[in-house]
Amino acid sequence: SRITNNLSTSTKITVYSTIIQPHFDYCASILPLFNLNKLNQLQKLQNRGKCIILKTNCLTPIATMLNSLQWFSIQQRLYYLTIMFIYKIIHSLAPFYFHQFICYHGDIHDCSTRSTNDIYIKKVNYSKS
């Protein structure tokens, strides 16, 4: 914390965005599978980073800090990154082998309904048979 006194807010945000945030983003597609306790631990780490960047008390409301930095909470960020990942798969911007896990409701049944173009994510059997 001694070094933070000599850094500007924009420099602290850059350090956070380049060194710390990628650790949260790296496994964003599997983090929603974690229990709420683990996500709360990650949220506490992000909150601590926000307090250091903004030089505020840890009792400052989280919503105030999120709004001032214009950041997502950990859970919001995970949802955002997961949705971006699915978008990339649908529009062929992700590696092709991810396409095997996604199909459309119209591929499953022959009925023409409003949900024909909805996405269906195939379940993967992780148990060893």
Range of the domain at 36: 3-91
C-alpha atoms less than 13 angstroms from C-alpha of 123 in its C-beta half-sphere: 2
Q: How many domains does the chain have?
A: 1
Against a cut of 0.85, is the pTM above it?
A: no
Domain membership of residue 72 (yes or no) is yes
Domain membership of residue 19 (yes or no) is yes
Q: Using 50, 70 and 90 to split pLDDT, how confident is the model at 93?
A: very high
Domain membership of residue 102 (yes or no) is no
Domain membership of residue 124 (yes or no) is no
Domain membership of residue 22 (yes or no) is yes
**DSSP helix, strand, coil percent of the chain (3-state; round to 5):** 60, 5, 35
Residue-wise pLDDT for 106-116, tens only, equals 777 777 777 77
Domain membership of residue 29 (yes or no) is yes
Domain membership of residue 122 (yes or no) is no
Q: Using 50, 70 and 90 to split pLDDT, how confident is the model at 117?
A: confident
Domain membership of residue 97 (yes or no) is no
Residue-wise pLDDT for 13-40, tens only, equals 999 899 988 888 887 767 777 788 888 8
* Residues 89, 96 contacting (CB under 8 angstroms): no
